[in-house]
Chains A and B, each alone.
Chain A
Amino acid sequence: MKQKKSDSAYRVEIRGASKSYGSLKALYNFDLTIEPGTFTVLLGPSGSGKSTLIRSIAGIERLDSGAISFGDRVVADNGFHMAPEKRDLAMVFQDYALWPHMTAFENVGYALKRRNLDTTEANRRINEALERVGLSSKGPNYPFQLSGGEQQRVALARAIVGRPSLLLFDEPLSNLDADLRERLRVEIATLTREIGATACYITHDQSEAFALADQIGVLRAGELQQIAAPEEIYRQPANRFVAAFTGISGSFLGTVIESKRHEVIVQLGTQRLECRTPTKLKTGDSVEVLIRPSATSLSHHHSNTLPAIVLDVAYRGRGYEHVVECEFGVISSVFAHESTPRGSKVDIYIDPHNCLAFPSEKKVSETASIAQLSHSK
Chain B
Amino acid sequence: MALDSETHVRSRVPFLGRIRITPMAVFWTLITFILVIPILLFLSVAFSPRLMSQGHQWFTLASFKPVFSGAYGLALLHSLILGVVAALGAMVIALSMAWLVLRTNTPARILWNTTIFALFLAPSYLIALGWQRLFEQRGVLEIMGFYVEPIRNLLYGPVGICLVLMVKGIPFAYLVIANAMRGLGEEFEQAVRVHGGSRFEAFKVMAALLMPSLFSAMAIVFAEAISDFGVANTLSNVGHFSVATYQLYQGINSIPVNFPVSAATSLTLLALVILAILAQNRALRGRSFRTLSGRTRPATQTKLSFFGKISTSTYIVGLLLITLGIPVFGAISASLLQGLGSLLSHYTINFSNYSRVFHSRFLRNPLIYSTEMSLITATLAVGLAAIASKVLTSARNSRSKRFVDFFLLAAVALPGIVFAIGYIFTYNLKFINDIGLHIYGTSFLLALAYTANALPSTSRSLVGNMGQIQESMMDAARVHGSGAAKAWIDVTMPLIARPLLIAWLLTFSGTLLELPVSELLYPPGSPPVAVGIELSLAGFDYGGGTAIEVLSILWALVVVGVAFFLFNRFAPPGWKRLGNLR
Contact = CB atoms under 8 A, between A and B. Distances in A.
A168 interface: yes
A162 B482 CA distance: 13
Contacts of B491: 99
B490 A110 contact: yes
B479 A110 contact: no
A81 to B, nearest CB: 10
Contacts of B479: 58-60, 84-85, 87, 89-91, 168
A142 interface: yes
A99 B472 CA distance: 10
Nearest to A161: B480
A87 B483 CA distance: 11
A342 interface: no
Nearest to B495: A101
A191 B483 CA distance: 27
Interface string B8-49: 000000000000000000000000000000000000000000
Contact of B480 (A73, A95, A114): A114
A102 B578 CA distance: 10
B577 A142 contact: yes
B574 A90 contact: no
Given A97-B472, A101-B578, A102-B574, A110 B480 contact: yes
A93 B472 contact: yes
A237 B479 CA distance: 34
A122 interface: no
B144 interface: no
Contact of A101 (B472, B494, B582): B494
A79 to B, nearest CB: 8
Nearest to B7: A80
Contacts of A337: none
A113 interface: yes
B157 to A, nearest CB: 54
A373 B524 CA distance: 81
A58 B482 CA distance: 13
B6 interface: yes
Given A80-B3, A85-B481, A113-B482, A101 B476 contact: no
Contact of A110 (B477, B484, B572, B582): B477
A315 interface: no
Contacts, number: 94
Contacts of B481: 85, 111, 113-114, 162
A61 B329 CA distance: 60
Given A60-B475, A95-B470, A95-B472, A142 B574 contact: yes
B343 interface: no
A322 interface: no
Contacts of A80: 3, 6-7
B103 interface: no
A110 B479 CA distance: 11
B480 A162 contact: yes
B480 A111 contact: yes
A314 interface: no
A142 B578 CA distance: 11
A101 B475 contact: no
Contacts of A84: 475, 478-479
Interface string B243-275: 000000000000000000000000000000000
Interface string A86-116: 0101110111011111110010001101100
A126 interface: no
Contacts of B2: 73-74
B483 A83 contact: yes
B58 to A, nearest CB: 39
Contacts of B7: 79-80
Contacts of A59: 478-479
Interface string B283-315: 000000000000000000000000000000000
A112 B578 CA distance: 24
Given A85-B481, A91-B479, A101 B575 contact: yes
Interface string B462-500: 000000001011011111111110010011001100000
B340 to A, nearest CB: 51
A74 B475 contact: no
27 contacts: A58-B479, A60-B475, A60-B479, A67-B3, A74-B1, A79-B7, A83-B484, A84-B478, A85-B478, A85-B479, A87-B479, A90-B479, A93-B472, A95-B472, A97-B473, A98-B473, A99-B495, A99-B574, A100-B578, A101-B494, A101-B574, A110-B477, A110-B490, A111-B481, A144-B582, A162-B481, A168-B479
Given A60-B475, A106-B574, A110-B477, 13 more contacts: A59-B478, A83-B484, A85-B481, A85-B487, A89-B479, A90-B480, A93-B475, A93-B476, A95-B472, A100-B578, A101-B495, A114-B481, A168-B479
Interface of A: 55, 58-60, 67, 72-74, 77, 79-80, 83-85, 87, 89-91, 93-95, 97-103, 106, 110-111, 113-114, 142, 144, 158, 162, 168
